[in-house]
Structure formats: C-alpha cells, structure tokens
Amino acid sequence: MAKLTIRDMNLQGKRVFTRVDYNVPLKEKGGVLVITDLTRITATVPTLNLLLQQGARIVLASHLGRPKGKTEPSMSLRPVAATLSELLGRQVAFAEDCVGPAAEQAQAALKPGELLLLENVRFHPEEEANDAAFAAKLAGTAEAYVNDAFGSAHRAHASTEGVARVVAARGGPCGAGLLMEKELKFLGEELERPAAPFVVILGGAKVSDKIKVIDRLLEKANTLLIGGAMAYTFKLAQGAQVGKSLVEPDQVAVALRALTKARARGVNLLLPVDHVAATPVAGGKVDKKGRPVTEYQNPRVIAGDNLAATEAGVDIGPATVQNFCAAIAGARTILWNGPMGMFEDKRFAEGTIAVGRAVAEASKRHGATSIIGGGDSVTALNQAGLGEQVTWMSTGGGASLEFLEGAVLPGVAALTER
Ligand code: AMP
C-alpha cells in the first residue's frame, strides 16, 4: 500500500524526527576521524532541503557501526555533523547524546529551518531492543516522523520503528523521505508489474541467502540468470563435479525445486556453461583477525562443467558471459543482485564487470529499467564507473533482499498509509 511521503506533509515549524543512514566509513588520520565515503550523507540532501524549504525543525538520528549499546568514541557521529554542515552550507548542531539533558536542551533550542544531529543511537542498548520507554525519550517533542534510512528499515529498532509509533500515537504524520520513496518505488512498485522481458540476474555466495528471492521472482521473471558461487549448488544438484567450489550441499533439494518451478512456469533459467577456475591453497598468511587466507593459483578457463577435484569455480567463463549478456540485451526490466564471481580479486572480476556493462548498455540503448538490488553489485558497478548509467542502485543490503522477498519491513510498515 502507498505510504505517506514528505511531499504530502505540511511540516512548517514542526519538530521532525528524521531517521537517516549515516553509517559511514571512518578512518583515523593524524588523530582525527575522517569520513572516507560521503555517499550516504549526500544521498539525504534532497530530503533535508525539502524539509528546510518547508521550515521544519529537523532532528536527525542515525546509527554508526556496531557499538553494542556502549559509548564508543570511534563510532561518534560528530564528524558527520561537520560534513553535513559543509554540504548544506548551514550550521548543523550536534547533541552529545541522543537522549537525556543534552538532547532535550538542543531540541528545545531548535528554530524553524534549523538542524540538529543526535549522537549514535546505538550507544544505548535500548535502541536495538526497541524499548518503548527509550523510544518515547528519543522521540522528544517530535510532532512528525520521517524515515529516509531504507538500509535499516528491515530492523524493528527504536529509531526505525518505536519512535514512529510514539509520534503516530500523538496524531503526528509518519512519512518516507525522498530516498526511501525511491527505494519503495523501484524495488516495490516497478517490480510488481515489470515490463517484459524481465531479466533477473542473481549471484553471490549462497543459495540459502537468496532462495526466497529466487522463489518470488520465478513468479514474475521471464529469464533468470544465476552466477556466482550460488550457481555451483545448482550444478551439484544437476550431478556435475564442482571440485572445491563454494557449495551448500544442504541446499541441493532447494535448488532442484527452483529448477522444477522455473520449468513449470516457462522461465528461461540459465546457469554457467563455462567457468574461470583456480586452485585454492593455504599460503600460510593470516588476515587481521588471524584467520588463514586462501590463495587462488593457476586461474584458467574451463569449458563445460566438470571441474577438477582440486579446483574451485571463481567466476563465470567467456561463453557464459556471452549468453548472459545476450539475454540482458533484450530486457526491458532488469534486476541484479550479487556478483558473478569473487570480484574483489581483479583476476576474477571480469564476469561481474561484463554483466554490469551489459546492464548499463541496455539502459542506455533502449531505456530498459535497471534496478540494482544493493550490496556487492553496487560496489562492483561503482568500481567499473557504471553506477551513473543504471536506473536505480539500492542503498540497502539486507533490507533490499528482504524487501525483494516480499517481506514487510518494520520501518516501512510503521509509516502512515496515504
Ligand atoms: P552475497 O553477499 O551473497 O551477494 O555474496 C557476495 C560474495 O560472494 C562476494 O564476496 C564474492 O566474492 C562471493 N562470490 C561470488 N562468486 C563466488 C565464487 N564463485 N566463489 C566464492 N565466492 C564467490
């Protein structure tokens, strides 16, 4: 059902509790914490500008990292207030704590058209517990609630759900910010009745993570392309030799059911027909956490399916790239979630980049609607400089996946119906 958005709300002079996603990467440089990627902050600027135009008193709340309910100076939102202030060209006040006297005083001092950023809500364990008393304190004197943090909407936390309930109980409107509105439009409405041919591309590590998405999309897709490690569980189900590829033997029956459903519904389900394989060896190195690092040696292309017992499939091969790109070229709607291989290693990124190019090309050439369902596919597209060429790149990871599964996200459910 359609949710209220800030376009529908009259917020003149109102105190608006605004949940944003400022979970930004921070790095220490010369004793100061520096934000290394501003994407999440800039993504909220259109919403903030609209709220400012309306003369709202804006109270911003977010989490940053996983401080586990304790004050953790390395996860402070203070640097974000300074950056946001520069981006908006106006002052953004900062409250040392998201509840208590610091927050109350700062909120009381807010005038129409002014902004206040509260300290990390996860410094309090009650945030993740969605504690009702904490939500009431966090809400302060808010008369309206806005959620622009799609990436956190799958969590029923105090700032994503509890505060909305408090505000709604006061008779205040709860609406989506402009970023949230777009996420709901592209991952929701557009995929409800996609223009055909609808091509879905799924990759990544595990079938178990994405089976609900596969199952739901088999109801709508014309073509389903499966790459990444996930493809090897399907191959195992078909009796192929998968060597040392990452597989989930306990998901074989699930993969077989998906293959049967695809056949029954006339969905063209394509799996890899060739592979880039490499030999994993324990090179004696360890990562930062002391875990052994696997090195991949002797990469080579293998036509057909049977990998040697010592080899793992790490990317789709060139013939598969051709098949997948041909399917993508004819699409009018495309949804992509998950890389085609271990793209973090440049040697195994070609399949993912080729698919990214084909998606961008289909969008440019005949206006296909291309939706990238968050996480690693977004990283890969941006690395290849193709991010600007697709219709929508979701800002959610887990939230996008749950939304695509058809789940009701608590942070969305809490918003007022239009
Ligand atoms: P996901 O979060 O499920 O989308 O999975 C992304 C991860 O899957 C990335 O870190 C990739 O390196 C990994 N991945 C993709 N293909 C393979 C593969 N063939 N073997 C091992 N890992 C893979």
Atom 12 of ligand 1: nearest residue by CA position:
342
Q: Tally Cβ neighbours within 10 Å of residue 78.
A: 13
Going by pLDDT thresholds of 50, 70 and 90, the confidence category of residue 291 is confident
Q: What angle do CA 22, 95, 26 make, to 5 degrees?
A: 35
Using the mean position of ligand 1's atoms as its centre, give its distance from the Cα of residue 398 in Å: 15
List residues with catalytic annotation.
Answer: 40, 206, 375, 398
Query: 122-138: per-residue pLDDT in tens?
Result: 999 999 999 999 999 99
Residue 374 pLDDT more than 80? no
Say if residue 409's pLDDT is above 70.
yes
Cα 220-151-73 angle, rounded to 5 deg: 165
Query: CA-CA distance, 52 to 57, in Å (whole number)?
Result: 8
Handedness of CA 81, 82, 85, 90 (dihedral sign): positive
pLDDT level of residue 1 (50, 70, 90 thresholds): low
Return the pLDDT at 351.
97
Residue 351 forms part of a structural domain = yes
Q: At what angle do helices 318-329 and 350-366 cross, to 10 degrees?
A: 20
**Whole domain around residue 211: which residue ranges?**
186-402
Asked if 102 and 206 sit in the same domain, the reply is no
Residues 90 and 195 in one domain: no
Atom of ligand 1 nearest to the CA of 339: 15
CATH number for the domain that contains residue 59: 3.40.50.1260
**Which ligand 1 atom lies nearest to the CA of residue 313?**
19
Number of domains in the chain: 2
Residue nearest atom 10 of ligand 1, based on CA coordinates: 342
Same domain, 73 and 151: yes
137 and 219 co-located in one domain: no
Highest mean pLDDT among 1-15, 258-272, 279-293: 258-272
User: Tokens for 63?
Assistant: 């989490």
Sign of the CA dihedral running 257, 263, 269, 270:
positive
Per-residue pLDDT of 154-206, as tens digits, reads 999 999 999 999 999 999 999 999 999 999 999 998 898 999 999 999 999 99
Least confident segment among 228-242, 280-294, 298-312: 280-294
Is-contact 208 342, C-beta < 8 A? Answer: no
Same domain, 289 and 360: yes
Residues 149 and 278 placed together within one structural domain of the fold? no
Pocket-forming residues, ligand 1, beta carbon under 6 Å: 203-206, 209, 228-229, 246, 313-314, 338-339, 341-342, 344, 375-376
Please determine, for residue 148, whether its predicted confidence score (pLDDT) is greater than 80.
yes
Residue 88 CA, ligand 1 centroid: distance in Å: 38
